[in-house]
Amino acid sequence: MLLDLSEYAKITLGRFNDTISQANTALGIISSEQWDDCSPAHIGRMRQLSVDIMTIDEIVYYRNGRLSCTIWGNTNRAILERAPDHTLPNGVGITLNVESTVSRGGSMVAVSHRGHAVLVKPQRMVDVLLDTHATLGVAMDGGRLVALSGSADPELLAVLTSGPAVGADARHFYASVGGPGFIAFAIAERSAIEGRWREELWLLLPLGGVVSLVLVATVAWFSRHRLSLRSELASAIRNGELVVHYQPIMSLGTGRCVGAEALVRWQQPDGRMIPPDSFIPIAEEFGLIADITDFMIDRVVRDLADMLAIDRSVYVAINIGASDIGSGRFLPVLDRALARWNVAAPHVWLEATERGFVDADAARKTITAARAAGHLVAIDDFGTGYSSLSLLEKLPLDALKIDKAFVDSIGKDAATSIVIPHIIGMAKELSLAIVAEGIETEEQVDYLRKAGVKLGQGWLYAKAMPLGDIIDYYGHNKAGPWDGVPVDALDQADGA
């Protein structure tokens, strides 16, 4: 039995070392790629690594010793980088009790180098064996506890963390093994194992049994991690942590509001809002996007009924995830919501990003059905992805949204600034309505207006806001009937 506990301690030390080495790998990759600007690409890379490398829960970046961004986006929370509690020979630091920016329940172990810190839940380091009564742990040389799988007697912990040991006292069997800088240990309560059946199991369990137990545990552990991001998001959806904000869409001619784009946010228990760019890609990857689309449809159509009480000409655009555009699955859901809240279809615009058009035939089917039901369909973020003019020609679209990246280039000597006249020309040629996104300056509005763009949204007018605020905003700024909005489609809603 003592031999088995020594094995368990060794396996625990191995798990700990593997975790640190995987964190090291992530740090090596991110440092060789020289990310340091907290740009969307930098954040996307951190997120990708945290999904790809199983042991990692989160990656964060400190600039000048202050938390600057995480896999969930930029942050301005005043969190300072702490000096490591231990430094490995390669200069990588290990810091205990670091606050996670998103995961609930407890502090994390940070493995850090040059500003980047990989965060790992301490439980992962001792999440080794299933169905055992042993308590497993890892401590730093000097006795500071890094991770513990259960609870343990403090006096015994002091013995175990002071150096390698194998033995028993009145209540426990125990063993600890040392590695450079760290000690791992396993403790079993006498009472739990002294019953004959259990004792036999512990004494007779062959090493092969231990190995297969470890294999089973490893597989379970890996899949648990893969599921943890997914399950955080899934439970957020279930627990009503998603909220909808609305960004006004304006007539550029009159500066009045014609409608809004519905944008999802993930509200954390402490009130922070995680932006959709941080979790929509995860939702797409893990098959949760349908739940988000359904949530948005339900909430937005209900909210629209309130907005329509003020004015019958308002419309709201909903983003539809790529896989939903491919399948068309959401159309009956939308239909039912419209019937339930007595809202006419033309008041709901649908926005699909270019990713949704990868299977052009499937997308065409969905768009055709949506338009037949009375919705306007827009291509979002045009020019940033895979689309080409020929794809645009093939799809029966109503509107094109010009991505903020192109609007930003207006008046600048940027490589992208030559693109915007082409996009506008192309949209006009195909008789598509144009909505410009991310308008921040009067200069941009002037340019767009002169170029014949009728609709736009951006912080120059207003940021996305909760329902109560958009209702106020709309009440004070509403446009005349169909101001700048494609008339044909909305005429049908007039009698709604």
- Interface ranges with ligand C2E (CB under 6 A): 247, 263-264, 275-277, 280, 289, 292, 296, 319, 321, 351, 353, 380-381, 404, 437-440, 457-459, 464
Which H or E run includes 347? none
CB of 363 to ligand C2E, least distance (A): 14
In whole angstroms, give the CA distance from residue 237 to residue 260: 23
Nearest to 87 by CA among 162, 182, 184: 182
| Nearest distance, CB of residue 440 and ligand C2E, angstroms | 5
Minimum separation from the CB atom of position 19 to ligand C2E (A): 33
Q: Which is nearer to ligand C2E, 54 or 282 (CB)?
A: 282
Q: What's the closest the beta carbon of residue 116 comes to ligand C2E, in angstroms?
A: 24
Residue 419: exposure state from Cβ atoms within 10 A (0-12, 13-18, ≥19): middle
| Of 14 and 281, CB closest to ligand C2E | 281
- Give backbone dihedrals phi and psi of 90, rounded to 5 degrees, phi first: -85, 10
Q: Which is closer to ligand C2E, CB of 27 or CB of 464? A: 464
Nearest partner of 321 among 364, 362, 299, 350, judged by Cα: 350
For the CB of residue 66, give the shortest distance to ligand C2E in the complex, in Å: 22
| Per-residue CA distances from 36 to 53, 69, 135 (Å) | 20, 10, 40
Q: Select 214 or 264, whichever has its Cβ closest to ligand C2E.
A: 264
Q: Which is nearer to ligand C2E, 251 or 457 (CB)?
A: 457
- Closer to ligand C2E by Cβ: residue 107 or 384: 384
DSSP assignment of 77-101: ---BPPPPSEE-TTS-EEEEEEPPS
The token pair at 286 is 């893990």
Residue located via tokens 């037949």: 372
Q: How many CA within 13 A on the CB side of residue 280?
A: 16
Smallest separation (angstroms) from ligand C2E to the CB of 11: 43
At residue 34, φ and ψ (nearest 5 deg) are 60, 40
As measured in angstroms, the least distance from the Cβ of 427 to ligand C2E is 16
The residue written with tokens 């997308």 in the block is 363
Helical residues (DSSP H) of 127-242, grouped into ranges: 154-160, 190-193, 196-204, 207-238
Contacts of 404 (CB under 8 A, 6+ apart): 437, 438, 458
Question: Which is nearer to ligand C2E, 235 or 492 (by Cβ)?
Answer: 235
Beta carbon of residue 398, minimum distance to ligand C2E (angstroms, whole number): 16
Strand, coil or helix: 170: coil
270: nearest Cα among 99, 47, 467, 465:
99
Is the CB of 127 or the CB of 324 nearer to ligand C2E? 324
CB of 410 to ligand C2E, least distance (A): 12
Nearer to ligand C2E, 56 or 338 (CB): 338
The distance of closest approach from Cβ of residue 345 to ligand C2E in the complex, given in angstroms and rounded to an integer, is 18
How, if at all, do strands 172-179 and 182-189 pair?
A: antiparallel
**How far apart are alpha carbons 54 and 384 in whole angstroms?**
30
Q: Looking at beta carbons only, is 82 or 404 nearer to ligand C2E?
A: 404
Cβ nearer to ligand C2E, comparing 193 with 280: 280
Q: What's the min distance (Å) between Cβ of 123 and ligand C2E?
A: 32
Q: Is the CB of 74 or the CB of 162 nearer to ligand C2E?
A: 74
DSSP 211: H
Helix axes 289-308, 276-285, angle to 10 degrees: 130
Residue 263 makes CB contacts below 8 A (sequence gap 6+) with 244, 245, 246, 247, 276, 319, 464
Contacts (Cβ under 8 Å, ≥6 apart) of 122: 106, 107, 108, 109, 146, 147, 148
In order of 297, 353, 484, the CA distances from 249 in angstroms are 19, 18, 10
| Residue 5: CB minimum distance to ligand C2E, A | 51
